[in-house]
Amino acid sequence: MAATIGAAALLVAVCWFGATTKAPPAWEISVFDFFNTLPSPVGNALAALMWFGTTVGILIAALAASLWKRNDISTHVLLAGLLAWLTQRSLKPLVDRGRPRDLLAEANFHGHLASGGGIPSGHTAMAVAICAAVAFHVSRPWRAALALLAGAIGIARMYTGNHFPLDIVAGAALGWVCAVAAHYLIGAWERRRPRSSGAATS
């Protein structure tokens, strides 16, 4: 619970900072520059994973879980992903901080450039929501792999020139909060469902 409260507080803080201070600070630009100038083979490999942080990624992850006979994971992924998708779309116009192409005179841009606000990163939010939802149901080694996947997508969004670091931080915090919220919502629904009556007793 402490991690979730911390993530929610971090999300609020970053959104407030972005809404009140539109220009990225020098340290954030430096971090962005580091990832934005990664060697092309590394950056392109990371960019190839970005589809996972989209609605297509949500659907494919949920379908894969269903084929694996894990409907609990499938439901969790769908709900967490939906919450992340809806929330990030609502927050972007409220925070209204631009992306690197809006705020920087020079940057490297690769592939498709998204439009609209930058905070929070939608790809990162959905990727973390998916990975965190799955992490609730799998063992520790798988959780580490999922964390690496989500992190790679966040880095890829900076490499392609679509997001600043704080966009990624806000997206990651949002994704985690959505995965936890989905966990509790599903649990509450399961507790309210009528249970089949047990064997009759004499």
| Domains of the chain, residue spans | 2-191
For 104-141, how does the pLDDT look when each residue is reduced to its tens digit (9 = 90+)? Answer: 989 999 998 898 999 999 999 999 999 999 999 999 99
Q: What is the pLDDT of residue 202?
A: 36
Q: What is the pLDDT of residue 13?
A: 95
Q: What is the pLDDT of residue 78?
A: 97
Q: What is the pLDDT of residue 172?
A: 97
Q: How confident is the model at residue 193 (pLDDT cuts 50, 70, 90)?
A: confident
For 13-59, how does the pLDDT look when each residue is reduced to its tens digit (9 = 90+)? Answer: 999 999 999 899 999 999 999 999 999 999 999 999 999 999 999 99
Q: What is the pLDDT of residue 201?
A: 41
Average pLDDT, the chain: 93
Contact criterion met (CB below 8 Å) for 111 and 47? yes
More confident of the two residues 78 and 202:
78
Does position 184 have pLDDT exceeding 60, yes or no?
Answer: yes
What CATH class has 2-191? Answer: mainly alpha
**pTM metric for this prediction:** 0.91
Half-sphere exposure in the Cβ direction for 5 (13 Å, CA)? 2
Break the chain down into helix, strand, coil percent, rounded to 5.
Answer: 70, 0, 30
Give the burial class of 28: count Cβ atoms within 10 A of its Cβ; 0-12 exposed, 13-18 middle, 19 or more buried: middle
